[in-house]
Structure 1
């Protein structure tokens, strides 16, 4: 077949050309309908995803608020615990001071009593475990009255 015979077939059969054009139009229409249906399905899916996104955003905000509240509670508890720890440390220090004061005061009271009873410096120092300076101070404060009392009671 040459080109001239092909042109004649085409001229003679315009019906085939119309059928072919109609077939192409039908395929195009089918693709358009299918594309539109697919587009609607994708739009519906996008709407669902946006709705889900809003729900997730709300949940994230709620979790953020809850985490913030928990963090504030943890900070408050830490501060409270720190305050309690400081108070306990102060109480322990005060208790130690009171113990030392009781021990010191007990030793000093005992030493003063020994001085009043007429014991010598070395005995008071050894019995009470005081330093020489402490014993000297106690004798200077409390020993003078004892010396006067002892000297006035002697005939």
Structure 2
């Protein structure tokens, strides 16, 4: 009889334990559900209504995309311009048989310096504008050096209609 009472008490303790566990689970589930509901409500409040806010966001996005496209186009044009200047320089140097010094310390000769291949601490590294200005400067100085003082004065005299 004592064993049966003990077994009944044990079963009663197990039921109470199971009830407490179930109660804790229900409480946690309710808390989780309330938190999810609160998050859903906050997400709905954050979403712009289909009105003025949505149109402004769309316009801002389109403006940003246009800016990115314009920037890419400018970069592409700079690269093409630099390549054209390099080709023009090669032609002039080849024609005149001139030995040009390197533009920067990244390369062993003039043609090794390039914005895409220079070291990251170089002035021309990813700076096509500065590189094209340097090339343009070399071209213009080469053009002035190629025409000597006699040739320049002859050219000035020819403009004035005089002969030397």
Normalised by the size of structure 2, how large is the TM-score? Answer: 0.34
